[in-house]
Amino acid sequence: MYEICPETAEDEYEVEALYDLCFAPGRTALSSYRLREGVPRVADLCLVLRDSAGIMLAAIRFWPVRVGGRRSLLLGPIAVHPTAQGEGLGGILMRDSLLRARATGWDRVLLVGDAPYYSRFGFARLDNVEMPPPTNPDRVLGLELREGAWRGISGPVTRDAPPERPGGLVERGAASHIQMACQELPHPRGARNEHESAAGAASDQRSDGP
Ligand SMILES: CC(C)(COP(=O)(O)OP(=O)(O)OC[C@H]1O[C@@H](n2cnc3c(N)ncnc32)[C@H](O)[C@@H]1OP(=O)(O)O)[C@@H](O)C(=O)NCCC(=O)NCCS
Protein backbone atom coordinates (compact mmCIF):
# COMPACT_ATOMS: atom_id res chain seq x y z
CA MET A 1 0.00 0.00 0.00
CA TYR A 2 0.95 3.60 -0.47
CA GLU A 3 -0.09 6.74 1.32
CA ILE A 4 -0.50 10.19 -0.23
CA CYS A 5 -0.46 13.11 2.19
CA PRO A 6 -0.19 16.85 1.91
CA GLU A 7 3.42 17.87 2.50
CA THR A 8 4.22 19.11 5.99
CA ALA A 9 7.19 21.02 7.38
CA GLU A 10 8.63 17.69 8.57
CA ASP A 11 8.71 16.44 4.96
CA GLU A 12 10.73 19.39 3.64
CA TYR A 13 14.20 17.84 3.93
CA GLU A 14 13.15 14.56 2.27
CA VAL A 15 11.35 16.34 -0.56
CA GLU A 16 14.39 18.50 -1.29
CA ALA A 17 16.63 15.40 -1.17
CA LEU A 18 14.31 13.60 -3.61
CA TYR A 19 14.41 16.55 -6.01
CA ASP A 20 18.21 16.73 -5.72
CA LEU A 21 18.36 13.03 -6.56
CA CYS A 22 16.01 13.23 -9.54
CA PHE A 23 17.08 16.48 -11.17
CA ALA A 24 20.37 17.68 -12.56
CA PRO A 25 22.65 19.65 -10.23
CA GLY A 26 21.85 23.35 -10.25
CA ARG A 27 18.10 22.80 -10.61
CA THR A 28 17.37 25.88 -8.51
CA ALA A 29 19.20 28.05 -11.05
CA LEU A 30 16.39 27.39 -13.54
CA SER A 31 14.33 30.43 -14.41
CA SER A 32 11.14 28.80 -13.09
CA TYR A 33 12.65 28.96 -9.59
CA ARG A 34 12.75 32.77 -9.79
CA LEU A 35 8.94 32.67 -9.92
CA ARG A 36 8.88 30.66 -6.69
CA GLU A 37 11.34 32.60 -4.57
CA GLY A 38 9.70 34.21 -1.55
CA VAL A 39 6.25 33.07 -2.65
CA PRO A 40 4.29 30.66 -0.43
CA ARG A 41 3.60 27.28 -1.96
CA VAL A 42 0.00 26.21 -2.46
CA ALA A 43 0.13 23.83 0.47
CA ASP A 44 -3.17 22.06 -0.20
CA LEU A 45 -1.73 20.76 -3.47
CA CYS A 46 1.81 19.84 -2.43
CA LEU A 47 1.73 16.09 -1.90
CA VAL A 48 4.11 13.37 -0.84
CA LEU A 49 3.71 9.67 -1.54
CA ARG A 50 5.27 7.09 0.79
CA ASP A 51 5.36 3.31 0.70
CA SER A 52 4.22 1.12 3.59
CA ALA A 53 7.69 1.38 5.14
CA GLY A 54 7.36 5.16 5.19
CA ILE A 55 9.92 5.74 2.43
CA MET A 56 9.17 8.80 0.34
CA LEU A 57 8.86 7.72 -3.29
CA ALA A 58 7.33 10.77 -4.95
CA ALA A 59 6.50 14.41 -4.40
CA ILE A 60 4.78 17.22 -6.21
CA ARG A 61 4.61 20.95 -5.45
CA PHE A 62 2.64 23.90 -6.77
CA TRP A 63 3.13 27.66 -6.63
CA PRO A 64 0.81 30.49 -7.56
CA VAL A 65 1.92 32.72 -10.45
CA ARG A 66 0.35 35.50 -12.52
CA VAL A 67 -0.26 35.27 -16.26
CA GLY A 68 -1.67 38.38 -17.87
CA GLY A 69 -2.51 39.50 -14.35
CA ARG A 70 -4.58 36.38 -13.67
CA ARG A 71 -3.73 34.04 -10.83
CA SER A 72 -2.67 30.63 -12.13
CA LEU A 73 -1.02 27.52 -10.79
CA LEU A 74 2.56 26.59 -11.65
CA LEU A 75 2.89 22.81 -11.36
CA GLY A 76 6.24 21.42 -10.33
CA PRO A 77 8.60 20.14 -9.45
CA ILE A 78 7.24 16.60 -9.60
CA ALA A 79 9.63 13.73 -9.04
CA VAL A 80 9.45 10.00 -8.52
CA HIS A 81 12.34 8.13 -6.93
CA PRO A 82 14.49 6.46 -9.64
CA THR A 83 13.71 3.00 -8.22
CA ALA A 84 9.96 3.59 -8.56
CA GLN A 85 9.71 5.41 -11.90
CA GLY A 86 7.45 3.99 -14.57
CA GLU A 87 5.13 2.36 -12.04
CA GLY A 88 2.34 4.90 -12.31
CA LEU A 89 3.17 6.91 -9.19
CA GLY A 90 3.80 10.13 -11.11
CA GLY A 91 0.43 9.72 -12.78
CA ILE A 92 -1.25 9.25 -9.42
CA LEU A 93 0.26 12.43 -8.01
CA MET A 94 -0.62 14.37 -11.16
CA ARG A 95 -4.27 13.27 -11.16
CA ASP A 96 -4.76 13.57 -7.40
CA SER A 97 -3.25 17.05 -7.16
CA LEU A 98 -5.18 18.30 -10.18
CA LEU A 99 -8.42 17.01 -8.66
CA ARG A 100 -7.56 18.88 -5.46
CA ALA A 101 -6.74 21.99 -7.48
CA ARG A 102 -10.14 21.90 -9.15
CA ALA A 103 -11.87 21.21 -5.84
CA THR A 104 -10.17 24.17 -4.18
CA GLY A 105 -11.25 26.58 -6.88
CA TRP A 106 -8.24 26.97 -9.16
CA ASP A 107 -9.08 27.63 -12.81
CA ARG A 108 -5.87 26.99 -14.74
CA VAL A 109 -2.46 25.40 -14.37
CA LEU A 110 0.77 25.61 -16.32
CA LEU A 111 4.09 23.80 -16.20
CA VAL A 112 7.38 23.53 -18.03
CA GLY A 113 7.92 19.97 -19.17
CA ASP A 114 7.83 17.25 -21.79
CA ALA A 115 4.61 17.35 -23.80
CA PRO A 116 4.76 13.60 -24.56
CA TYR A 117 4.37 12.92 -20.83
CA TYR A 118 2.04 15.71 -19.72
CA SER A 119 -0.34 15.50 -22.68
CA ARG A 120 -1.80 12.32 -21.12
CA PHE A 121 -3.18 14.54 -18.35
CA GLY A 122 -4.63 17.01 -20.86
CA PHE A 123 -1.78 19.52 -20.98
CA ALA A 124 -1.13 21.26 -24.30
CA ARG A 125 1.25 23.95 -25.51
CA LEU A 126 0.34 27.49 -24.39
CA ASP A 127 1.12 29.57 -27.45
CA ASN A 128 0.95 33.06 -25.99
CA VAL A 129 2.28 32.49 -22.50
CA GLU A 130 5.94 33.32 -21.92
CA MET A 131 8.00 31.80 -19.12
CA PRO A 132 11.10 33.75 -18.10
CA PRO A 133 13.95 33.04 -20.53
CA PRO A 134 15.64 30.82 -21.30
CA THR A 135 12.63 28.50 -21.61
CA ASN A 136 11.80 26.49 -24.72
CA PRO A 137 8.26 27.64 -25.68
CA ASP A 138 7.42 24.07 -26.74
CA ARG A 139 7.75 23.06 -23.09
CA VAL A 140 5.30 25.66 -21.74
CA LEU A 141 2.12 23.62 -21.28
CA GLY A 142 -1.27 24.44 -19.82
CA LEU A 143 -4.43 22.75 -18.62
CA GLU A 144 -7.87 24.27 -18.05
CA LEU A 145 -9.46 23.23 -14.75
CA ARG A 146 -12.54 25.21 -15.79
CA GLU A 147 -13.63 25.30 -19.39
CA GLY A 148 -12.18 28.29 -21.24
CA ALA A 149 -9.89 29.25 -18.38
CA TRP A 150 -6.87 29.83 -20.64
CA ARG A 151 -8.89 31.53 -23.39
CA GLY A 152 -7.61 35.05 -24.04
CA ILE A 153 -4.89 34.82 -21.41
CA SER A 154 -1.44 35.72 -22.66
CA GLY A 155 1.79 37.42 -21.71
CA PRO A 156 4.70 36.80 -19.40
CA VAL A 157 4.43 34.58 -16.37
CA THR A 158 5.29 36.64 -13.30
CA ARG A 159 5.65 36.06 -9.58
CA ASP A 160 2.53 36.16 -7.49
CA ALA A 161 2.76 38.82 -4.80
CA PRO A 162 3.51 37.29 -1.41
CA PRO A 163 0.62 37.66 1.04
CA GLU A 164 0.80 40.60 3.40
CA ARG A 165 0.11 38.44 6.43
CA PRO A 166 3.02 37.05 8.48
CA GLY A 167 3.88 33.37 8.38
CA GLY A 168 6.03 30.85 6.60
CA LEU A 169 6.28 30.06 2.93
CA VAL A 170 3.22 27.89 2.92
CA GLU A 171 -0.25 29.01 1.99
CA ARG A 172 -3.24 26.96 3.03
CA GLY A 173 -6.54 27.35 1.25
CA ALA A 174 -9.93 27.90 2.78
CA ALA A 175 -10.87 24.30 2.10
CA SER A 176 -7.75 22.92 3.78
CA HIS A 177 -9.75 21.03 6.41
CA ILE A 178 -11.16 18.94 3.57
CA GLN A 179 -7.99 18.67 1.54
CA MET A 180 -5.55 17.82 4.33
CA ALA A 181 -6.64 14.21 4.62
CA CYS A 182 -4.16 11.50 3.71
CA GLN A 183 -5.32 8.66 1.56
CA GLU A 184 -4.16 5.10 1.17
CA LEU A 185 -4.01 3.40 -2.18
CA PRO A 186 -2.87 0.08 -3.58
CA HIS A 187 -0.01 -0.05 -6.03
CA PRO A 188 -1.29 1.22 -9.39
CA ARG A 189 0.31 -1.54 -11.45
CA GLY A 190 -0.12 -4.52 -9.13
CA ALA A 191 2.10 -5.89 -6.42
CA ARG A 192 5.42 -4.16 -6.04
CA ASN A 193 8.49 -5.73 -4.48
CA GLU A 194 9.03 -3.62 -1.37
CA HIS A 195 12.69 -4.68 -1.34
CA GLU A 196 13.22 -2.64 -4.49
CA SER A 197 12.23 0.56 -2.77
CA ALA A 198 14.22 3.70 -2.26
CA ALA A 199 16.98 2.56 0.07
CA GLY A 200 20.37 2.61 -1.56
CA ALA A 201 19.08 3.73 -4.92
CA ALA A 202 21.31 4.84 -7.74
CA SER A 203 21.48 8.56 -8.36
CA ASP A 204 22.47 8.35 -12.01
CA GLN A 205 19.02 8.78 -13.53
CA ARG A 206 18.83 12.52 -13.34
CA SER A 207 16.68 14.79 -15.44
CA ASP A 208 17.20 18.34 -16.58
CA GLY A 209 14.77 19.66 -14.02
CA PRO A 210 11.34 21.12 -13.72
C1 LIG B 1 8.60 12.32 -15.04
C2 LIG B 1 8.18 11.52 -13.83
C3 LIG B 1 7.62 12.44 -12.77
C4 LIG B 1 7.08 10.53 -14.27
O5 LIG B 1 6.67 9.77 -13.15
P6 LIG B 1 6.57 8.18 -13.29
O7 LIG B 1 5.95 7.65 -12.05
O8 LIG B 1 7.92 7.65 -13.64
O9 LIG B 1 5.59 8.05 -14.54
P10 LIG B 1 4.33 7.11 -14.68
O11 LIG B 1 4.68 5.76 -14.17
O12 LIG B 1 3.13 7.76 -14.14
O13 LIG B 1 4.19 7.06 -16.25
C14 LIG B 1 5.13 6.32 -16.97
C15 LIG B 1 4.95 6.63 -18.43
O16 LIG B 1 5.39 7.98 -18.66
C17 LIG B 1 6.39 7.97 -19.67
N18 LIG B 1 7.32 9.05 -19.37
C19 LIG B 1 7.98 9.27 -18.22
N20 LIG B 1 8.76 10.39 -18.36
C21 LIG B 1 8.54 10.84 -19.61
C22 LIG B 1 9.06 11.94 -20.34
N23 LIG B 1 9.94 12.79 -19.81
N24 LIG B 1 8.61 12.11 -21.61
C25 LIG B 1 7.72 11.26 -22.16
N26 LIG B 1 7.20 10.20 -21.51
C27 LIG B 1 7.63 9.99 -20.26
C28 LIG B 1 7.01 6.59 -19.56
O29 LIG B 1 7.63 6.24 -20.78
C30 LIG B 1 5.78 5.74 -19.32
O31 LIG B 1 5.07 5.55 -20.50
P32 LIG B 1 4.02 4.32 -20.69
O33 LIG B 1 2.91 4.53 -19.69
O34 LIG B 1 3.57 4.45 -22.09
O35 LIG B 1 4.82 3.09 -20.40
C36 LIG B 1 9.35 10.69 -13.24
O37 LIG B 1 9.81 9.78 -14.20
C38 LIG B 1 10.50 11.52 -12.72
O39 LIG B 1 10.51 11.87 -11.56
N40 LIG B 1 11.48 11.81 -13.57
C41 LIG B 1 12.65 12.59 -13.14
C42 LIG B 1 12.26 14.00 -12.75
C43 LIG B 1 11.47 14.71 -13.85
O44 LIG B 1 11.82 14.65 -15.02
N45 LIG B 1 10.41 15.38 -13.42
C46 LIG B 1 9.55 16.13 -14.32
C47 LIG B 1 10.12 17.49 -14.58
S48 LIG B 1 9.08 18.46 -15.60
- In a domain, residue 209? The reply is no
- In a domain, residue 207? The reply is no
- In a domain, residue 205? The reply is no
Q: Transcribe 25-45 into DSSP letters.
A: TTGGGSHHHHTTTT--EEGGG
Structural domains of the chain, count: 1
Which parts of 70-120 fold into alpha helices (H)?
89-103, 115-118
Which parts of the chain fold into alpha helices (H)?
12-22, 31-34, 89-103, 115-118, 176-179
pLDDT for 208 beyond 70 = no
CB of 114 within 6 A of ligand 1: the answer is: yes
Q: How far is the CA of 155 from the centre of ligand 1 (A)?
A: 29
Of the candidates 62, 6, 70, 8, the one whose C-alpha atom is nearest the C-alpha of residue 32 is 62
3-state secondary structure of 93: helix
Of the candidates 15, 125, 114, the one whose C-alpha atom is nearest the C-alpha of residue 61 is 15
Q: What is the pLDDT of residues 156-175, one digit of tens each?
A: 999 997 655 444 445 555 45
> Residue 24 — pLDDT band, cuts 50, 70, 90?
confident
As a whole number of angstroms, the distance between CA 85 and CA 111 comes to: 20
- In a domain, residue 204? The reply is no
CB of 117 within 6 A of ligand 1: the answer is: yes
- In a domain, residue 208? The reply is no
Is the whole model's pTM more than 0.95, yes or no? no
| CATH number for the domain harbouring residue 61 | 3.40.630.30
- In a domain, residue 33? The reply is yes
Q: What is the pLDDT of residues 83-104, one digit of tens each?
A: 999 999 999 999 999 999 999 9
* Domain that includes residue 165, residue range: 2-195
pLDDT at 115: 98
- In a domain, residue 41? The reply is yes
Which residue's CA is minimally distant from atom 37 of ligand 1?
85
What's the sign of the alpha-carbon dihedral 172, 175, 178, 182?
Answer: negative
As a whole number of angstroms, the distance between CA 141 and CA 124 comes to: 5
Q: Which of the pair, 140 or 26, is modelled with greater confidence? A: 140
- In a domain, residue 206? The reply is no
Nearest ligand 1 atom, CA 89: 7
